[in-house]
Structure 1
Amino acid sequence: MLLSRYIHAGISASLSALPLLMFPLGMPVMVNAASSDTSWIPFDLAQFNGNATLDTKGDVQLFWKTGDEYSTYGIASRSKGYLALGFSETGAMTGADIAVGSMDNGEFKFENRFAAGFVSPEVSKDQQNNMRLKEGHQQDGVTAFVFEKKNVADCLAEQVNVNTESWQWFIYAFSDENTFAQHKAGNKGKSYVKLGTGETISVNEIRPVDNAKNFTLTQSEVAIPTQETTYCYTMHKMPSGKKNYILGERPERSSDFLHHLVLYACYGITDQDKEMVGKDAVCSDDFSNPCNGFVTEWSPGMSGRTFEPGYGKPFGEDYYEYVMLETHYNNPDLIDGQKDAASFSFIYTDQPVKTEVGSLTLGDVGNRFTLEPGKELVAVSRVCTPECTGNWPEEGITAFSVFHHMHYRGRNARVQIIRDGKEIAPLSELRHFDYGYQFSKGLNQIKLLPGDMLITTCEFETTGDTEPVKGGLSSQQEMCFSWVDYYPANTIMMCSQFDMGNSTKDGLTGVVGFCSDSTKPEAERFESASITNPFEALPETGNTCNASNSTGTDSSDNAADDSAASSSLPSLTLLITMLSTLGFYLAFNDY
């Protein structure tokens, strides 16, 4: 991935390392689709105020009622054996906090299990506080149970927090056997469900939109080189008009070798750059992308996305007219004779929308970090300084989704909000990152104000490395980014810090602030005390596990060239302890 003419950052993956049956690109993820037929469900539905159908047939139903400390959930399936409902960070099995119900010698058995990976979930040590059974049923071809789950987990080594105010991933599996083991094919799924009642801005599914127009950007066919990493670029002219708005994104995975699509907005490009329109793709390590505005992307695990009525991403003569489509091909086995013509489709309107949506890039600028090998967790932190956010409108902006991105070593991510020297509630936290299950994380509309400092932290596991790991483009390197969608749109595109090393520009050297504005030809670099100033951090939550099932990490393990600000961050202490044997797969997901 090439972020602006100043920055190089990569989204990379090895074909051999991806799960074999990933959730198909473009397949709609069901979101709060409720079924009208609930007569077969044995528990009282009056105790709930929310309902979602988790499968396509209406045979797996989820109900809930959120509370202050505990929330109540009911799950029912037209099946005769065990039934499992997992609370997942990403829609993957890895890190899922799972409720399992089944019959055992005439009595209903309830267990809390935890999946350390794509392996059989183990029984959690806590069977008392995190989850509590209220009732269980199995009769007439139906298995169902009602239970309570704590909203804020006590032990994040085996449990997860629940996003009761916004969107939550659920995974499920069922069987016609009461023995907890691998289910039959098709008896599983995942769904991104809105538990909260706040206004939704975008959904991670493809929805029809009335009176919308369509356009598709297609890369000319390329012969995929017999090398591990290849980046290709094509310039495109957007549909004409002074003001248009993207209403929905429809990515397509055209090749098994395709591992990301990124669309960049082009501001202030030259006539020579525009001559690339209609030309063959440029596939070269030496190509310098002149376009520095992030529009959108696709990575493994992502489906399409649709904005709710009244919202749209602006483009046109008043914004930008040209875009650069970047494709990354990964060919670790050096297979010859492969070709691809990648494309990215959109729906849009030329009619005004009520609210314009913008995207803000946070994280590492230039891949100037190194990860120490042999560590369970190594942190990289980057600061978005108040000097840059001070350019936001006086009333501030409202963030409604975040896309966190790392490579295979990525484990946890966080964006913190620092206001007046104190941390307020985090903008976003994501544990158990999985490269094959990436998505745009819905937020409960968080207000950001001019002068706020944002700190993006990524945590990586390097236990399998014997040499330092560099940030970079290839599959064997790493990256740390968070893309925030917000409204109303403004001209600030990227906010971070930049390590100039020993070079000097405009009298600056070392680590400086970095702010990219679409109205200016170059990103601004400046001295900022915020990069090193300490702040009052919120206390950690979810770390009351006993020593046998929790492991902490010290920020002193950070790479040597990380900023001093990272040492003041509260650590994301959750470790993914992989089981030594695979055992039975409880494959909740299409993986």
Structure 2
Amino acid sequence: MAVGRPLLRLAVLAWVGACLAGSMTVDLATLPAYDAPDHTHESVLDPDGVFTVLWTPDLDKQEVVWEIHARTRGWLGFGFSSNGGMGGADIVTAWVEDGKLHLQDRHGVGPKMPPEDEINDWRPLYARENDTHTMLVVARDVNTCDPEDYVLTNETVRLLYAWGEEDPSGDQPPYHGPRRGNRYGLVLAPFHRDGLLEDFETITVRQRIVLPHTQDTFYWCHIEKIPEWKEKHHYIGFDMIYGENAHSNLHHSVAFECHTQDGTDPAKLLESHVGHPGYECYTPNMPPEFYLCERFLINWAIGSEGELLPEKVGIPLRHEHGGATYLMFQSHYDNKRLERDVTVEWSMRLYHTTQLRPWDASIIGLGHSLIFSLTVPPRTSDWLVVGHCSSACTAAALPPEGVNIFTVFLHGHYLVRAIRLRHFRGLKELPPIAVDTNYAADFQQSRRLSREVKLLPGDHLTVECDYNSETRDTATFTGWRADDEMCQAFINYYPRVPLAMCRSSPHPRLLTRLYHLKGFQSDLDLSTFEFNPEVGDGRRYQEAVNALPWSTLDKQKINSEIIHGDQFIKCQYNYGISLKLDTNVTGYPTAVPFVPAEDKFCALRASASASVLSPPPTFTLLPWLLALVVVAVVAV
């Protein structure tokens, strides 16, 4: 019975892998010439620029090609881990000596030398060594079906690196000492920045500020004005330039578009603030007109490397061209040690062009509203917070043909372990738009989607955040501090519509019952930033929640009732300007849950190997000879 080519290719790859031990030695002369491509991704992994990795994922082939450069004539190590530790890590070690490449597939089992895998799943494509550097090019399957390997996904991963100054004296590298580390990455997602075209211009925003030594968290807001142009310009991306203490003390900087409630030019309200150094955000000192600035233009947070928009979209600039003339920059600084005389300096390059893209784009904020009800009890290993973008809001705000989502930005703080953006349509749940089960608050990079997602009027979106508060003795609430919490997602989409926020929060009457409160203040406004309202008996919300006997309560039951109870809708054009809806309450829709299709790839590969090919011979074959077999079969 004839075997199809895809099945035969799987079988041959499985057979070759079985023939190769975790370690291989390859004569460099047998490797083909390497024509270096323009890789889609690049990251300098260490602070001194010693270790750089470039890579290109190919989802059709289900493989990634890695090009690794290390400033050493010794050995190098590279790999993946979900948390930066060695447990569960997947590693390749390699060095070039006497015209030969020594390549080893290893897996981490803790704080000791990673043992070699039984099968080597790193395919050598090229290697060389010069007077200063070692270069290695390898290919690796997204899923090798090897239980000792790490399965690559669209989620956050730690890229591990290490190196030695000399080649190993034996068959394994010596201890690396301080020459090691890790850096966050998104391996399979399309890179968050395409190359800049030649026809672009730059606006540079700068800030230099001395942090108060009395506050561990400090927010500063100031206004920037877009220059006056006769013709329309598109904003197409930004880069962050780090100055003094920016790496250590700047948590995020967000640019908001400023729009009036009636759609008129906001010059009369905001022009006087142009050139002013700014004000502490969301305090009585901040001018009330700053609250007109709530539509997102730029999201930069710790770990981000900047962003360039896809070439078919741009965000319009200036009021007369459908965008915003005035921007408010909200910058979050941390000074956890309450040090004196800490100066932080940074700048941001905003790229724009007159070569207009086909589509005007924008951003919508999703998730749990920035309000008191986001509450995580103390000493809790698993607590879920949700926020909904209701079908009522999307039905009122989106055009009949819908909009197209091309990028997602996930945001939470240090208790968040995972974030999901779920998508519902009618009585059915669609595949999730974004999932990160390895979410890390120190790596907040926008995520370009591999395929755009259509969002139609009447669709429902839900942001879910998993929290672990086992290190906290008191409850954690939403707020501006890094130690407070948030549960948010932001979607970049086109065509642009007048919608800034589509969020929700648990209904106050539900919290009153579950937390045994007397009742909230009568003038409670759920459309504003209210973090600690009055709840009777002369107490405020946070005090009352922290007074609960959490160790004796059924937290799982309370959490279930909160997430499945009524939520108050926040569907806004801008701050305080809500769309008129038929209801102000939402919750999880009644829908058939999405169940991903069973991944049969590994089972297919195992079946092909067992049924088509005989067991591998016991003698050792040279890796280059096996490579010829693979090339011959795959080329059929």
| Alpha-carbon spacing, 1:376–1:479, altered in 2? closer, same or farther (3 Å) | same
* Residue equivalent to 1:483: 490
Counterpart among 591, 603, 612 of residue 535 in structure 1: 591
Q: Does 1:85 align with 2:78?
A: yes
Check the 8 A contact 2:157/2:438 in 1, yes or no: no
TM superposition shift of 1:215: 1.7
Distance in 1 between residues matched to 2:34 and 2:211, nearest whole Å: 59
| Alpha-carbon spacing, 1:374–1:211, altered in 2? closer, same or farther (3 Å) | same
* Residue equivalent to 2:205: 217
Check the 8 A contact 1:231/1:327 in 2, yes or no: yes
Distance in 1 between residues matched to 2:38 and 2:431, nearest whole Å: 26
Unaligned residue ranges in structure 2 (runs of 5+): 1-26, 510-519, 528-564, 601-636
Distance in 1 between residues matched to 2:217 and 2:51, nearest whole Å: 43
Distance in 2 between residues matched to 1:45 and 1:168, nearest whole Å: 31
Q: Does 1:352 align with 2:356?
A: yes
Counterpart among 410, 414, 434 of residue 408 in structure 1: 414
**Higher helix fraction: Structure 1 or Structure 2?**
2
Name the aligned partner's letter for residue 513 of structure 1.
I
Counterpart among 150, 153, 163 of residue 162 in structure 1: 153
| Alpha-carbon spacing, 1:484–1:188, altered in 2? closer, same or farther (3 Å) | same
1:14-163 → structure 2 map (5 Å cutoff): 43-44=31-32, 66=58, 71=63, 73=65, 82-87=75-80, 97-102=89-94, 110-113=104-107, 132=121, 148-151=140-143, 159-163=150-154
Distance in 1 between residues matched to 2:370 and 2:470, nearest whole Å: 24
TM superposition shift of 1:331: 1.4
TM superposition shift of 1:303: 1.8
TM superposition shift of 1:327: 1.6
SS where residue 380 of structure 2 aligns?
Answer: coil
TM superposition shift of 1:528: 6.3
* Residue equivalent to 2:569: 513
| Alpha-carbon spacing, 1:180–1:192, altered in 2? closer, same or farther (3 Å) | same
Q: Does 1:396 align with 2:406?
A: no
Name the aligned partner's letter for residue 442 of structure 2.
G
Distance in 2 between residues matched to 1:41 and 1:498, nearest whole Å: 64
SS where residue 536 of structure 1 aligns?
Answer: coil
Name the aligned partner's letter for residue 121 of structure 2.
R
Check the 8 A contact 1:219/1:341 in 2, yes or no: yes
Q: Does 1:264 align with 2:256?
A: yes
* Residue equivalent to 2:307: 305
Distance in 2 between residues matched to 1:195 and 1:50, nearest whole Å: 16
Distance in 2 between residues matched to 1:192 and 1:436, nearest whole Å: 11
* Residue equivalent to 1:249: 238
Check the 8 A contact 1:114/1:122 in 2, yes or no: yes
TM superposition shift of 1:316: 0.8
SS where residue 492 of structure 1 aligns?
Answer: coil
| Alpha-carbon spacing, 1:323–1:107, altered in 2? closer, same or farther (3 Å) | closer
SS where residue 393 of structure 2 aligns?
Answer: helix
TM-score normalised to the size of structure 1?
A: 0.68
Check the 8 A contact 2:379/2:472 in 1, yes or no: yes
| Alpha-carbon spacing, 1:445–1:475, altered in 2? closer, same or farther (3 Å) | same
TM superposition shift of 1:464: 0.7
Distance in 1 between residues matched to 2:404 and 2:377, nearest whole Å: 36
Distance in 1 between residues matched to 2:206 and 2:349, nearest whole Å: 8
TM superposition shift of 1:233: 1.4
User: More displaced, 175-184 or 483-492?
Assistant: 175-184
| Alpha-carbon spacing, 1:435–1:311, altered in 2? closer, same or farther (3 Å) | same
Deviation readout 1:227-258 (Å, 9 max, x if unpaired): 11121211222222463221221223344332
TM superposition shift of 1:540: 6.7
Name the aligned partner's letter for residue 224 of structure 1.
P
Distance in 1 between residues matched to 2:54 and 2:105, nearest whole Å: 18
Check the 8 A contact 2:208/2:343 in 1, yes or no: no
Check the 8 A contact 2:405/2:455 in 1, yes or no: no
Q: Does 1:316 align with 2:309?
A: no
Distance in 2 between residues matched to 1:325 and 1:54, nearest whole Å: 29
| Alpha-carbon spacing, 1:399–1:112, altered in 2? closer, same or farther (3 Å) | farther
* Residue equivalent to 1:283: 280
SS where residue 392 of structure 2 aligns?
Answer: helix
User: More displaced, 355-364 or 247-256?
Assistant: 247-256
Deviation readout 1:490-549 (Å, 9 max, x if unpaired): 2222212134514689999962222122599345576367514343223378999xxxxx
Check the 8 A contact 2:374/2:505 in 1, yes or no: no
TM superposition shift of 1:110: 3.9
1:181-580 → structure 2 map (5 Å cutoff): 183=176, 203-204=192-193, 208-219=196-207, 221-222=209-210, 224-241=212-229, 243-256=232-245, 257-268=249-260, 271-283=268-280, 285-286=283-284, 287=286, 289-290=290-291, 291-317=293-319, 318-340=322-344, 342-367=346-371, 368-390=373-395, 391-450=397-456, 451-502=458-509, 511-518=567-574, 521-522=577-578, 527=583, 531-539=587-595
| Alpha-carbon spacing, 1:171–1:422, altered in 2? closer, same or farther (3 Å) | farther
Distance in 2 between residues matched to 1:276 and 1:54, nearest whole Å: 40
| Alpha-carbon spacing, 1:321–1:446, altered in 2? closer, same or farther (3 Å) | same
* Residue equivalent to 2:557: none
Distance in 2 between residues matched to 1:204 and 1:377, nearest whole Å: 35
Name the aligned partner's letter for residue 483 of structure 2.
Q
SS where residue 490 of structure 1 aligns?
Answer: coil
Name the aligned partner's letter for residue 84 of structure 1.
G
| Alpha-carbon spacing, 1:463–1:122, altered in 2? closer, same or farther (3 Å) | farther
* Residue equivalent to 2:533: none
| Alpha-carbon spacing, 1:307–1:45, altered in 2? closer, same or farther (3 Å) | farther
Name the aligned partner's letter for residue 348 of structure 1.
H
| Alpha-carbon spacing, 1:531–1:212, altered in 2? closer, same or farther (3 Å) | same
Check the 8 A contact 1:512/1:525 in 2, yes or no: no
| Alpha-carbon spacing, 1:482–1:221, altered in 2? closer, same or farther (3 Å) | same
Distance in 1 between residues matched to 2:594 and 2:454, nearest whole Å: 18
TM superposition shift of 1:101: 3.4
| Alpha-carbon spacing, 1:247–1:462, altered in 2? closer, same or farther (3 Å) | same
TM superposition shift of 1:266: 0.8
| Alpha-carbon spacing, 1:170–1:43, altered in 2? closer, same or farther (3 Å) | farther
| Alpha-carbon spacing, 1:62–1:471, altered in 2? closer, same or farther (3 Å) | closer
Name the aligned partner's letter for residue 278 of structure 2.
A
TM superposition shift of 1:361: 0.9
Deviation readout 1:320-365 (Å, 9 max, x if unpaired): 2111111222112111223446543312124432222211111110
Deviation readout 1:170-221 (Å, 9 max, x if unpaired): 554443444456547777786968868xxx7x7348x554232222234474
* Residue equivalent to 1:578: none
User: More displaced, 480-489 or 337-346?
Assistant: 337-346
Check the 8 A contact 1:418/1:424 in 2, yes or no: yes
Aligned alpha-carbon RMSD (Å):
4.7
SS where residue 431 of structure 2 aligns?
Answer: coil
Check the 8 A contact 1:95/1:432 in 2, yes or no: no
Check the 8 A contact 2:193/2:309 in 1, yes or no: no
Check the 8 A contact 1:101/1:145 in 2, yes or no: no
TM superposition shift of 1:454: 1.2
| Alpha-carbon spacing, 1:147–1:272, altered in 2? closer, same or farther (3 Å) | closer
Identity between Structure 1 and Structure 2 (%):
19
